[in-house]
Structures are given as C-alpha cells and as structure tokens.
Structure 1
Amino acid sequence: MSVEARPVRPFAFWRLVGSEISLMMSRRRNQLGLVILAAVPVVMAIAIKTSGDTGLMVSVANGTVLPMLALMMESAFFLPLAMSLLAGDAIAGEAHGGTLRYLLVTPVGRARLLAVKFAGLLVGAFFGTFLIAVVGLVAGVMVFGSGASMTLSGTAITFTESLGRLALMALFLALMMTAVGTMGLFLSTLVDQPLAVTVGCMVVVILSWLTEATSQLAWLQPYLLTHWFLQFADVLRDPPLWSRAVKGLGVAAAWMAVTGAAAWARFTSKDIGS
C-alpha cells in the first residue's frame, strides 16, 4: 500500500519562525531580560545627570551619546548573557522540556528546524540591541537634548548624523551578538540542559575577555569575538574608519559559519530521546 506524501507548504517555515519568535517573546524570563537591558541606559542617564560632574555632562553632548555608551557597557556582559539564555532554550530547552521529539515529527525536518532556531536567535540579537539603542536615545534626548556632538576625531556632527551612526553601531553589535548566539546554538545541540548551555557560552565569553587582558596571548586575540565588540566606536571617527569593523564582521561570519556547521552536523545526526 502506497503512502500518500504530505503536501509541501511553502509558508510552513516562516510560520514556524513566527511561532518561535512569539514563544521566545512570551517567556517571562526573556521579558525580564529585556527590561534589564532597557533599564541600563535609563540608570546611566539618571546617574550622569545627578552626578554633578561638569566634564562628564559636557562629554555627553547630545541624546545619541548615551545609547552609544550603553551599547559599549552592555556588550561586555549583559548582551552576551541574554544571547546565551536564548541559545540555551533553542534546542537544549526543548529537549529538557520533552517537546523536541514532537517538533521533529513535523514535515519541516531537522535542518530547517535548526534554521528556525537560528532565525529566532537572529531576531533576539537585533531586538535586544536596538531596544538598548532606542530606549537610550529617548532617555538621552530627554535628559541631554538633541544638539550637535563631537566625533572621536574632534569634529562636530549634527544630531541627524549622530542618529545614522548610532544605527550603524547597533547593527554591527547585533551581528556580533548573533555570532555569540550561533556558538550557543551549537552548545545547545550537545546537551539537554539549557543552564549548561548558558554557563558554557558565558565561560567562553569570560575567558575571551581574560585573554584580551593577557599580553602573552596577543596572537590569539584577533580570532576572538570579544576582541571586536567595541570596534563599532570607529564609526564615531570623521570620516568613519571601516577597516576594523569589517574585520570584526569577518571574524563574526567565520564564527557563525564554523559553529553553525557544527550545530547542523551534530543536530542532524543526534539521537533524540526526549
């Protein structure tokens, strides 16, 4: 007896992506994480305003400087931690909750399911990064206004120009965080405990920062994601210095390619018991 093939639904993949994003945004832990990410620039604005430090107030010349400073601060720990938590839920979280094998009976297939999880991490990276930028911008304009600001080269640029550079900085950092998430996605295919993924991913990030501070390991630093996190500051030069940012994106792309391929190889051959 022949078995009737299941009809191919061209929009099934995108429906799964939408479902993944909806589930990701509905988790209370992720919502709390977004609140924390958004709270940092607000706290910074209040702290700078009430500090009474005239030099510090002058350095924050307009509302776009605050979100730039917030992105720099949160790129060290909070954003990588947020991506580590999301990556832990991607595969390991499904396995831990006993829902992974039910997802695999759908006609999407393992490779496409992994692509859905990657798409969710991509959206998470962009949403979290631009949330910081937007909240920081609103808080910055309310506290410091929308006047001209100085570049790292000592020239003045208008508020509109500052907005464009802020958007480029957020875009660069979002792509770097996507690379962190892809690394976490690979770790998520190795274990069934989401906490182990989060810890493992953050261990890599922390060790990378320690390597940055060790001169004897200078040869290794250019291959680390953390080495390039803050290179978006070159956008604030006049004219912008693109070379190091492009190198950073190249390193991020390499990390995504290697860890993404490793995640695919592991997940498509993995025995699913839960």
Structure 2
Amino acid sequence: MTATAPGRTPGSADTAAPGRTPGSAAPAAPGYTPGRTLPLRVEAVRQLKRRRTFVMAGILAALPFVLIAAFAIGGTPDGARNNRITLMDTATASGANFAATCLFVSAGFLLVIPVALFCGDTVASEAGWSSLRYLLAAPVPRARLLRSKLVVALGFSAAAMLLLPLVALAAGTVAYGWGPLKLPTGGVLPAGDALLRLGVAVAFVFVSQLVTAGLAFWLSTRTDAPLGAVGGAVGLTIIGNVLDAVTALGDWRAFLPAHWQFAWADALQPHLEWTGMVKGAAVSVTYALILFALAFRGFARKDIVS
C-alpha cells in the first residue's frame, strides 16, 4: 500500500492535467454524470459471462438429478423403521416434497457457496486483475462501484436460491408426480398452498444468507485475493455453525445467524409459524447491514493500487 499525497483522494492520478495545479479538482467532462457510470446492466452482463457463474449454476441444477438417481438406486426412504418421519422420508411423495427435501439438504452448506462466491469474488477479482484502479479512473465513484457490484452479486445469489428449488420442483414432478405436500408432522398441504410455503422458505433462506454475503463482500474490499474472500466467508460461516452446536452457550446462541438457518421449516407446518423466521431474519439483516457499512466505509478510505 502506498501513501496518499496530501490534497488528493486515494486512487486519483499522480499527474496533474495541463492548466491546473497538482491536487486541484479536475473539471468534469462535458456530459459526465456520476449516476450513469457502471450501469447495473453492464455489471450484470460482465458477471454473467464469467465461467464460475455457469459452473455454479450447473452444480445447483445437477443436485436434484443426483438425488433422484440416489433414490432410484437406494430405494424409497422409509422412516417407519425407526418410528420417526423426517422431511427426507417424504421426499418421493410428490414434486413439492422433493423440492423441500432438496432445500433441506442444501441450505446448510451448498447454498452458502454461491453467495460467498458471487459476493466475495466481485471486488477482489477486479483488484487481482489490476483493473480496479482503471474502473475508478473512468471515473466511477467508489460508492457507486460498490453499490453496483453489491446489487448484482445479491441478484445472482437470489437467482441461485431460486434455481435449485425450481429445478427440483420440475424434476420431482416428472419423477414422482404432482400432488400435495406431505408433512412429516402429519397431514398435507394442497399443491397451491405448498408452492406459497416453499416460496416463503426460499425467501427466508436467502435472507439468512445475507450474513455470508456481508462477510464475503467486506472481505472482498479488504483483499486482492478472491479465494481469500470467498474462503474466509465460508470458513466464518462454518465456525458459526460449530458455535451453534455448543449447547453450553445457552441463550447466547440466539445471537448467532446459524441458530436460525433452519427456521424456514416452520413454513412447512399445518399452521404457518413466523416467530422463528422473524427472529432469524432480524439477526441476519442486522449483521449484514453492519458488514456492508464496514465495506463501504473501508473502501472509501482505501488507497487503490491494484
């Protein structure tokens, strides 16, 4: 990191333009509007064309077919053998059940990966390619650059959350038929209500992953190594899961986002329960807002040399 000369902002050019003294503000170019730099459409297309986007989409889309093959090879799950029916035991009851099962097996870890990848790779990759300073020299205001990248990263994360259950619902309907959602606790939900409940569950899973998004995005503004930002966010998320398993922490676990990560299961009850999801969403959003604020604050003061 290099020292910033007095009178100029970090990342500005060292050479003064003809006709003005070093350190003075550059006159705005005719037609230049800060609010029109780096449009969301441009950033979205740039991220969409990257290979890691297609790889991640392929992995998420493949999971339902892997589970269908596993059930075909291993047989239909049966919880009657241990007198305990779980969501996994009802996976083959209908397409809705299969979609819920795919969400259950992936929410704890697999869905963490795309969020950490899209949010942790977005700024750090530009620094790693040594293109970040050229974006700022465009000139793109720092706050707008971060805002555009964050909005696109969260949009891709939300798309990943939707891709898995949608593919699972379609594949499950073909494999097991269309029908009501069989509840592990007993009873069924009509197919229409089941879709709404699954939508609530997916929405909560996305909100609960905002903490991972905040961690990844903050780390992405602190390092030039994308793998460090992505891996750091995943690692800290795993640590949170481990701490939640320490029952000796007692009520302190309620302040851990991981404590509420499966609160979406309350949506798959005969009567929808909001308490756990509201508490979990409040914890996740609070942590995420703090981390996003730290990212913007730190990036605004950082001397960009990459």
Q: Same fold (TM over 0.5)?
A: yes
CA deviations 1:8-37 (Å, max 9, x no partner) are 548726x62122222222111221111111
Kindly state the Cα deviation for residue 220 of structure 1 after the two structures are TM-superposed: 3.5
Match of residue 212 from structure 1: 244
- 8 Å contact 1:126–1:174 — kept in the other structure? yes
Aligned AA (1:30): T
- 8 Å contact 2:98–2:169 — kept in the other structure? yes
Q: Larger radius of gyration, structure 1 or 2? A: 2
Aligned AA (1:59): T
Q: 2:53 aligned with 1:22, yes or no?
A: no
Q: Which stretches of structure 1, 4 residues or more, deviate above 4 A after TM superposition?
A: 8-11
Match of 2:71 among 43, 48, 67: 48
Match of residue 163 from structure 1: 195
Equivalent positions of 1:94-173 (< 5 A) are 94-173=126-205
Match of residue 6 from structure 2: none
Aligned AA (1:26): K
- Describe the SS at the equivalent of 1:241: coil
Kindly state the Cα deviation for residue 4 of structure 1 after the two structures are TM-superposed: 4.6
Match of 1:59 among 82, 86, 90: 90
Structure 2 CA distance for partners of 1:220 and 1:18, relative to 1, 3 Å: farther
CA deviations 1:185-211 (Å, max 9, x no partner) are 001111111111112111101111111
**TM-score, normalised to structure 2's length?**
0.83
Q: Matches of 2:134 and 2:261 in 1, distance apart?
A: 38
CA deviations 1:30-77 (Å, max 9, x no partner) are 211111111112211221233223626972321011121111221222
**TM-score, normalised to structure 1's length?**
0.92
Aligned AA (1:122): L
**More displaced stretch, 85-94 vs 242-251:** 85-94
- State the aligned residue count: 273
Match of residue 12 from structure 1: 36
- 8 Å contact 1:71–1:133 — kept in the other structure? yes
- 8 Å contact 1:152–1:238 — kept in the other structure? no
Q: 2:250 aligned with 1:227, yes or no?
A: no
Match of residue 258 from structure 1: 290
Kindly state the Cα deviation for residue 126 of structure 1 after the two structures are TM-superposed: 0.8
- Describe the SS at the equivalent of 2:111: helix
Kindly state the Cα deviation for residue 105 of structure 1 after the two structures are TM-superposed: 2.0
Query: When you count helix as a share of all residues, which structure comes out higher?
Result: 1
**More displaced stretch, 182-191 vs 83-92:** 83-92
CA deviations 1:231-271 (Å, max 9, x no partner) are 11100112100111111111111011100110011011001
- 8 Å contact 1:212–1:218 — kept in the other structure? no
Q: Matches of 1:271 and 1:81 in 2, distance apart?
A: 29
Structure 2: where are the runs of 5+ without partners?
A: 1-18, 20-25, 80-87
**More displaced stretch, 255-264 vs 71-80:** 71-80
Structure 2 CA distance for partners of 1:154 and 1:8, relative to 1, 3 Å: farther
Structure 2 CA distance for partners of 1:16 and 1:153, relative to 1, 3 Å: same
- 8 Å contact 1:125–1:175 — kept in the other structure? no
The alignment's C-alpha RMSD in Å is 2.1
Aligned AA (2:48): M
Match of residue 39 from structure 1: 62
